Amino acid sequence: MLRIRDAHYHDLLTMLNIYNQAVLDTTATFDLEVQTLEQRRIWFAHHGPRHPLVVAEEDGHVLGYCGLSPYGGKPGYRYTAEISIYIDQQQRGKGIGGELMRHILERAAKIGLHAVLAHITRGNEASVRLHERFGFTCVGCLREVGHKFGAWQDVLIYQYLVPAADAVGPGKA
């Protein structure tokens, strides 16, 4: 049975392997070289209650993960986060992304976020369908901002406005 839970430090090696699959085989990330465990330790440390990191686990095996990261680096963006989802290549197409998305969007509402952004490389139709199914809308396209696998890549910007986040906002938190 699939279970979504907070990521733990002992999940990091599996999460690193999943991420490095994406680095080597996809344009889902614009990292061009595999990451080291130390690099991912630093990345992991930037997550916490305000920016959760969750895993999908079945029979004790992590199959994918999803996280919210700070957006923009300035205090005025504190109600906005960027989402990322990575699924083990052998597990894609099994609904894991949907379960992770459902969970992380519920968490976004609980922690008082107002907007969640996704940057999706044009051509990643599975990711586009997943985000649109959960109410994300395309709000723009950054043309030829990434270069990977010998080609310029466009990045689509998708936005989700978190329901019930209206109770949180400037002057209320």
Output the domain CATH number for residue 51. 3.40.630.30
Average pLDDT for 138-144: 98
Q: How far is CA 134 from CA 12, 41, 116, 158, in A?
A: 27, 30, 11, 11
Q: Could you give the CA distance from residue 89 to residue 98 in angstroms, rounded to a whole number?
A: 15
- Among 53, 63, 58, smallest CA distance to 2 is for 58
Whether 172 maps to a domain, the answer reads no
Whether 99 maps to a domain, the answer reads yes
Q: Could you give the CA distance from residue 31 to residue 2 in angstroms, rounded to a whole number?
A: 29
Average pLDDT for 118-141: 97
Whether 110 maps to a domain, the answer reads yes
| Domains: count for the chain | 1
Whether 50 maps to a domain, the answer reads yes
User: Quick check: 168 pLDDT over 90?
Assistant: no
pTM: 0.91
Predicted local confidence at residue 76, as pLDDT: 97
pLDDT digit string, tens, across residues 52-104 = 999 999 999 999 999 999 999 999 999 999 999 999 999 999 999 999 999 99
Range of the domain at 21: 3-167
Whether 173 maps to a domain, the answer reads no
